Amino acid sequence: MGDNSNSANNIMDQALVIFGASGDLTFRKLIPAVFNLFCRGYLPSHYAILGIGRTEWSDEAYRDKVVTENPYLTGGTREKKEQFAALIHYLPLETSTPTAYKLLKDKLQDLFQKKPGPQNIIFYLSTPPLLYGTIVENLALQGLNKDDNGWKRIIIEKPFGYDLASAKALNRKILDYFYEDQIYRIDHYLGKETVQNLMVTRFANSIFEPLWNRNYIHRVEITAAEQGGIDNRGGYYDGSGALRDMVQNHLLQLVSLVAMEPPTRLDAGAIHNEKHKIFESLRPLTRDSITRDVIRGQYVSAHVRGKQIAGYREEAGINPDSRTETYAAMKFHIDNWRWADVPFYVRTGKRLPTRVSEVVIHFKPNHHHLFGKKQLTNNQNMLVFRIHPNEGILLKFGLKAPGAGYRPEQVNMDFHYDELSEKYVPDAYERLILDAMQGDSTLYARGDSMEAAWQFVNPILDAWQEDPSIPLYGYPAGSWGPEHADKLIEGENMAWRYPCKNLSEDGLYCEL
């Protein structure tokens, strides 16, 4: 295995095997993440990356592709890149052919032979999901699931299943060959600094947690808006849609972090247990509540900032009659002691006015309106966790407007991550791969929770599939989605927060 002088003492020697090595994710995210770990001295002294794909590349050709010519590999000196490239190897392999895995085993033996000792290996599955079952089975047939000569772990990319039944079947299949503590189901939202900060803000401060319940919180709102469309992922997206692509995983993971009870310890088991209780407490949706409280939409062509944007059905790889939703919004409840009757609202969509993800905690207004009724809507306290862009936290509260009388005005108190200029903020994949190397699955999803999240969204998928009378609203590209979603928010003068590029601003007409 190659040498890296920046070894981190607590990380054992190991190899990372990437299935799907010629895929987009490997170029854009995985290799850059491992390169950053290398530059920051987090790779052990003996480390190898082995790319597996169908394309016939030599080691050198693959190194050129993923290092020298990779536009996503930014930073680092030329020398660092050369040292890093020397750690990379490539094996062309037909992953659906069982006999091919003997070649993989031999290649790994070869990579490890220069250094006798435990053969610690992470297998990263970044192929089309249909292959996940075949890959784990064939790894096991070669004994590559056995921990006896060094640990073996697998990281599984999303989508983890297509619905409840397929997620259960996939869990069962993987668990036939690997133990739960060897399995790392990735949800890249959990690797984001700002998402991890949800737990720290809640549990490291004494001022928020006492208010964090139905007595003080009016509603919780989560938005994950994207300005972009589906790029070149039409084939995948048209079979998926916003509910599967964003809500079942990323957004419900955020809900669980906002709503969970404090864990007994800071370890994966304790945190997963608390998150799981939230998934189990999601009030099951009925046909009536789906028709009333879940909105789906699909973008149609529109003129946006001087450019004509194609409608979803006109995009490459999309069925011209497609009924796949590119927007989903919903209201639901968590039936437990802390959250009884507090509505949770989530929404996500492609081709919205801007790219922004945030969690908004809306606090209840005062019971007595000393400064007039207007106080109710204008000065409701709000705590905003901005996940991206302009990462930070914002607290909105009322202050006396200068001048005569006592007119409260809403003002902001905010913190922006970019003020921590000397602190390095790792990319989500960087953090998650490092955690898997260290055997920490806290920021990964556990199998039973994955199934519970599917259990919650599956009735929506069924209803949409079976009942054509449930509308699929068209919305113009560049707009905030179907207006019907506005009606989901209960309460006089209550509305979604319309976020702007800048965390501290909101409204329909700010800079996007």
Spatial strand order of the sheet with 344-349 comes to 408-416, 392-400, 382-388, 356-363, 217-225, 344-349, 327-332, 294-300, 472-476
# residues contacting ligand BG6 (CB under 6 A): 4
Q: How far is the CB of 500 from ligand BG6 (least distance, A)?
A: 17
Distance CA 137, CA 305 (A): 50
Report d(CA 318, CA 298) in Å as an integer.
12
In the complex, what is the shortest distance from the CB of residue 327 to ligand BG6, in angstroms, rounded to a whole number?
12
**Shortest distance in whole angstroms from residue 495 CB to ligand BG6:** 23
What whole-number distance in Å separates Cα of residue 495 and Cα of residue 507?
Answer: 11
Q: Please state the closest distance from residue 391 (CB atom) to ligand BG6, in A.
A: 12
The two most distant CA atoms of the chain are separated, in Å, by: 84
Shortest Cβ distance from residue 5 to ligand BG6 (Å)?
A: 33
User: Is 476 in contact with 482 (CB distance < 8 Å)?
Assistant: no
Structural contact between residues 352 and 224, judged by C-beta atoms closer than 8 angstroms? no
Contact set for ligand BG6, span 340-369 (CB under 6 A): 357
Cβ proximity of 446 and 276 under 8 Å:
yes
Active site annotation includes 250:
yes
Which residues pair with residue 219 across a beta bridge?
Answer: 362
Q: Does 238 bind ligand BG6 (CB under 6 A)?
A: no
The site string for ligand BG6 over 170-209 (x = CB under 6 A, - otherwise) reads: ----------------------------------------
Catalytic residue among 46, 188, 250, 272: 250
What amino acid is encoded at 459 in this protein? P
Select 251 or 285, whichever has its Cβ closest to ligand BG6.
251
Report if residue 226 touches ligand BG6, rule: CB under 6 A: yes
DSSP string, 353-371: SS-EEEEEEEEPPPSS-TT
State the binding string over 145-174 for ligand BG6 (x if CB under 6 A, else -).
-------------x----------------
Nearest residue (beta carbon) to ligand BG6 = 245
Distance CA 54, CA 402 (A): 69
Considering the rule CB under 6 A, would residue 506 count as an interface residue with ligand BG6?
A: no
Under the binding rule (CB under 6 A), the answer on residue 325 touching ligand BG6 is no
Write the binding mask 271 to 300 for ligand BG6: x where contact by CB under 6 A, - elsewhere.
------------------------------
Nearer to ligand BG6, 28 or 277 (CB): 28
Task: Specify burial of residue 19 (Cβ count, 10 A radius: 0-12, 13-18, 19+).
Answer: buried
Residues whose CB is less than 8 angstroms from the CB of residue 7 and which lie 6 or more positions away in sequence, other chains included:
41, 43, 44, 45
- Return the number of the residue (121 or 224) whose C-beta is nearest ligand BG6: 224
Q: Does 245 interact with ligand BG6 (rule: CB under 6 A)?
A: yes
Question: Can you say whether the dihedral through the CA atoms of 449, 450, 455, 457 is positive or negative?
Answer: positive
* Residue (238 or 245) nearer to ligand BG6, CB: 245
Please report how close the Cβ of residue 152 comes to ligand BG6 at its closest, in angstroms.
26
Binding-site ranges for ligand BG6 (CB under 6 A): 158, 226, 245, 357
Q: Which residues are catalytic?
A: 250
